[in-house]
Amino acid sequence: MSQDDTKQIRVGKHAVGIVGLTHVIEEVAENFAHKSDSEIQIELLSRLSRSNYIPSNIQDSYAKAFLREFKKYIGKPYEEEVSEGLEIKVLGPGCTQCDMLDKILMEVLSEMNILADMEHVRDIKGIGKYGVMGTPALVINGKVKSVGKVPDKEKLKEWLSEY
């Protein structure tokens, strides 16, 4: 399977890439759409464990995340995963400015001794979800804080101290 076959989902408080998720959900939807949540979870976990490392101590979290993605696919109501802690996203295709923002953010997080889930979103569709028209852009806990420039360290510290 190629990198295109990997989909990022939220498992607990972490974003995790799952290989073959879309394909497996499509297959399972054909025969399991009317089965119980627990049967669907078992089937998804079984199939996805073949091509993904799923730690045994958190299989329940993965099963819940897989079921959520399955329900999204078939159009059933689902409960969104609640993000815990600080979540930071740098939006940009990987240009010099975007990479600089990444680097400065890591320095500031280290200086402030803050633990955060940080992700650099390079995919144009992923960036588009936030409605920004320029890059680099910075999103902290779902709120767009900066677009089109690299904020200075002091501004970043100010924003991060709000959380």
CATH topology for 86-161 is Glutaredoxin (3.40.30)
Q: How far apart are CA 158 and CA 155, in angstroms?
A: 5
Is the predicted pLDDT of residue 1 greater than 50, yes or no?
Answer: no
For 78-128, how does the pLDDT look when each residue is reduced to its tens digit (9 = 90+)? 877 665 678 899 999 888 999 999 999 999 988 888 878 888 999 888 888
Do residues 90 and 150 make contact, with C-beta atoms less than 8 angstroms apart?
no
For 13-47, how does the pLDDT look when each residue is reduced to its tens digit (9 = 90+)? 777 889 999 999 999 999 998 999 999 999 999 99
Tell me which DSSP letter residue 84 carries.
-
Residue with tokens 């979290």: 61
Q: What is the pTM of this model?
A: 0.55
